Structure 1
Amino acid sequence: MKRFWFLMIVLVLVLAACSSSDDGAGTTDNFDRKAMLENIADNIIIPAYQSFSADMAALKTATSNFVNTTDEANLVSLRQAWSTAYVSWQSVSMFEIGKAQDLLYRDFLNVYPVDVTNIEANISSGNYDLASVSLQDEQGFGALDYLLNGLSDSDATIVSFYTDATGGDNYENYLTNVVDRMNDLTSEVVSDWTGGYRDTFVNNSGSSATSSLDKLVNDFIFHYEKHLRAGKIGIPAGVFSGSPLDDRVEARYKGDLSKTLFNANLDALQDFFNGKHFGSNTNGQSLKTYLDFLNTIKDEEDLSVLINNQFNIARTTASNLNDDFSVQVRTNNNLMLNTYDELQKNVVFLKVDMLQAISVNVDFVDADGD
């Protein structure tokens, strides 16, 4: 009889453990996750997407103006519209959830470096399908960087590619098609958020692996680790290859934009962590307030303070970088490596300490050996 009751107790404990693990993390705290999701959706994600959509519309208009009147003045205006939209993109690029995930939105808008050989082949042949996954490195902001900045060091020469009697129309068509594709994808994502997905996102406020917060937090950390830390800094600095790769920087052909893009993305990630309303100094419920609610302490310091301090240290370290990261890795790569090291410290705070505190499991594979 004792053996029977012992086995029953063990069975109950095993079933309880399995039930807990099936729910992903299974939080038991009383933090209002739905209120946090409402703040994130209504005051951060949707306004940021709407702002980016407006900048994409302006880019489309500038493209049309350039194609209709192809001169240096309109090239300069188009290039400025591209730069503005590219900076604006940094505020939404982390949100690979919902329609953005379905469309592979980030991969179509900002893969770099682009394949210049294939871009030129597409222009020459006029035969391409920008909806094809295999063409992700032949479109987006990187392709526009090449088409607006990389054809020549001279604006007059760049314009001549588009006015050439033989191939000019092909260049104009490709430029127009790339921008239209970016604008159409953006419209789909914004329409989804302002339609039914906002409520779906907010109401999925549980603590399972498929809940909105679990998925969004994983997207946030993945973006910080892979696209900011590695993509913008680590890969060009040669952290993973063993030697600097000055052709792997963001906005390679514009050059002096790469630091601006880095800072914009770093700011957006920190603002998201703090629940800062887009375009405002107001803060709402966020990962920071969640950690503070749980009184999460590490090394006798609030974890949220440690995370914000590390964001700020990384920003200060990066302030010493050249505006052109390609120049930086060629002239003094140690400064890039120092920036990478400071960014890496927050990977530990976010990916280990924060996830443990809020009971969220990592849902992506770490393949770069860090």
Structure 2
Amino acid sequence: MASTNPECRPIPVEGGGEGGEEGGGSLGLGSTRPAVVLAPEQQFQDRQILVDFADQVVIPAYEQLAADTQALSQAIQAFVKDPNPRTLEAARQAWSVARITWEESEAFAFGPAASLGLDANLDEWPLNEVEVLEVLESGDPLAPGMVADLESGQKGFHAVAFLLFGVNNDKSLEDFTERDREYLAAVSSVLADTAEKLLKGWTEGVEGLPPFREEWVRAGEGSNSYLTLQAAAEEIAQGILGMLDELGNVKIGEAFARQNPFLLESRFAHHSLPEFQANVRSVQYAYLGGFRGRQGRGLSQFVRGIEPVLDDQIQLQFQEVAAALQGIPAPMEKSLCDANARSSITAAMEQIQRAFDGFSQGVVPLLQQ
């Protein structure tokens, strides 16, 4: 690792990549579990799990995201109208709140989030700040309509963070130009509109498409996307695996392997570690069947009905990942390159690996019968 970047200095990245959908795929499977063959009556056929996943997990998360991004936009408008330390801090706090809500939804970024490109428009990373600077320096009018038409790397959470916090969480009130504030006002409004569109994609339908909730809950009974109940259940499971893979292999793994803080997702705000912790909660919500205290039927109930010990193991492994992340000194943008923090980062990656292995070997095979 040290030979890759011996000074552990931030190295700018070129281009962007939509975060939340692409994992590196290098998390191994370790030892295998004995195959479990289910009787027909044991195979996944619990439609209520799918209904509750929509109504108790996805839709509440997106309702909260829409509310939080609207509050962020309003806080930024207040700062733009009256730039002072109080309004700046309020805008930054509102960004943090909305950001955590989004990260708590990343284990289920399928459906409209993927098919309509809304995930990318909200969260493309790593952000190439050169592209944002091009907008600032262009002289083009920065109305919301114009910003909505920009490339995904020039809008969304990370563009807002770059403008609000600076390159290294060190932007002072005096550093804000009129152009910065104009861009912030427009891009935060577009962010809120995108979150609202994501919610409506599930509940009302957008762009001539029916509500995705209808497609989801009709799995195996007329759904064009999910021909069987098992296919929808596997979608939940693959979202969980994808989140664990991306967290361990990409969000933490690539930055740690290359010793480059610029590869941390929320480096501008020094906010990456809280987001990693939110990603684990996202996995737990998806598995247990409830967002932030809500409780429906989840995959956990299905697994427990077949192998109670396996369900206990999966829940414990998720908890151990959360605990391991708590052991990393904050902010990770600084601890990433601290030799004293190396063991805690490695321990967290190992726990993520165990959770990935346990879920892929234990739960997924039960859904594929």
TM range (shorter): 0.7 to 0.9
Deviations 1:262-286 (A, max 9, x none): 11221221132122x2232x53321
Q: 2:56–2:295: 8 Å Cα contact kept in structure 1? A: no
- Does the 8 A contact of 2:44 with 2:230 survive in 1? no
* Residues 257-296 of structure 1 mapped to structure 2, 5 A cutoff: 257-275=271-289, 277-280=290-293, 283-295=295-307
CA distance in 1, matches of 2:214, 2:67: 23
Decide whether aligned partners of structure 1 residues 107 and 27 sit closer, same or farther in structure 2, where only a CA change above 3 A counts: farther
What residue is the counterpart of 2:153 in the other structure?
Answer: 137
The residue aligned with 2:67 is 54
- The AA in structure 1 aligned to 2:287 is F
The Cα of 1:125 is off from its aligned counterpart by 0.3
Q: Deviations over 1:73-94 (max 9, x none)?
A: 2111111111110111122222
Which 4+ residue blocks in structure 1 deviate beyond 6 angstroms? none
Which of these residues, 236, 240, 244, is aligned with residue 224 of structure 1? 244
Q: By how many angstroms is 1:319 displaced? A: 1.6
Q: Match for 1:244: what amino acid?
A: Q
TM-score, length of structure 2 as denominator length: 0.77
The alpha carbon displacement at 1:304 in A equals 1.5
RMSD: 2.5
Q: Structure 1 residues 278, 321: CA separation in 2 closer, same or farther (over 3 Å shift)?
A: same
* Equivalent in the alignment of 1:6: none
Per-residue deviation, 1:214: 2.6
The answer for the alignment partner of 1:247 in structure 2 is 262
Once residues 79 and 57 of structure 2 are traced to their aligned partners in structure 1, the CA distance between those partners, rounded to angstroms, is 33
Deviations 1:160-192 (A, max 9, x none): x23xxxxx2x32232123212221211111112
Partner of 1:36: 49
Q: 2:255–2:264: 8 Å Cα contact kept in structure 1?
A: yes
Deviation at 1:200, TM superposition (A): 2.0
**Structure 1 CA distance for aligned equivalents of residues 253 and 187 of structure 2:** 28
SS in 1 for 2:107: coil
Paired AA for residue 248 in structure 1:
L
Higher helix proportion (structure 1 or 2): 1
Alpha-carbon shift at residue 322 of structure 1 (Å): 1.4
Amino acid aligned to 1:230: N
Structure 1 residues 188, 287: CA separation in 2 closer, same or farther (over 3 Å shift)? same
Q: Quote how far apart the aligned CAs of 1:130 are.
A: 5.2
Question: Which of the residues 190, 194, 205 maps onto 2:199?
Answer: 190
CA distance in structure 1 between the partners assigned to 2:96 and 2:303 by the alignment: 36
Q: Does 1:236 align with 2:260?
A: no
Q: Counterpart amino acid of 1:231? A: V
Which aligned pairs between 1:1-370 and structure 2 lie closer than 5 A? 28=40, 29-127=42-140, 135-150=151-166, 153-158=170-175, 161-162=176-177, 168=178, 170-195=179-204, 196-205=211-220, 208=228, 211-226=231-246, 228-238=247-257, 243-255=258-270, 257-275=271-289, 277-280=290-293, 283-295=295-307, 302-331=309-338, 332-359=341-368
Name the CA shift for 1:204/1:154 in 2 (closer, same or farther; >3 Å): closer
How many residue pairs match? The answer is 313
Q: RCO greater where, 1 or 2, for CA within 8 Å and sep 6 or more? A: 2
Separation in structure 1 between the aligned mates of residue 365 and residue 45 of structure 2, nearest angstrom: 18
* Deviation digits for residues 306-325 of structure 1 (CA, Å, limit 9, x no counterpart): 21121122222222211211
| Uncovered stretches (5+) of structure 2, i.e. residues with no partner | 1-37, 205-210, 221-225
What displacement does 1:347 show? 1.2
Rg: which structure is higher? Answer: 1
Task: Find the aligned partners of 1:203 and 1:219 in 2 and give their Cα distance.
Answer: 19
Q: Which runs of 5+ in 1 are unaligned?
A: 1-25, 163-167, 297-301, 361-370
Q: Percent identity?
A: 22
Contact preservation (8 Å) 1:229, 1:340: yes
CA shift at 1:71, angstroms?
2.4
1:330 match: secondary structure: coil
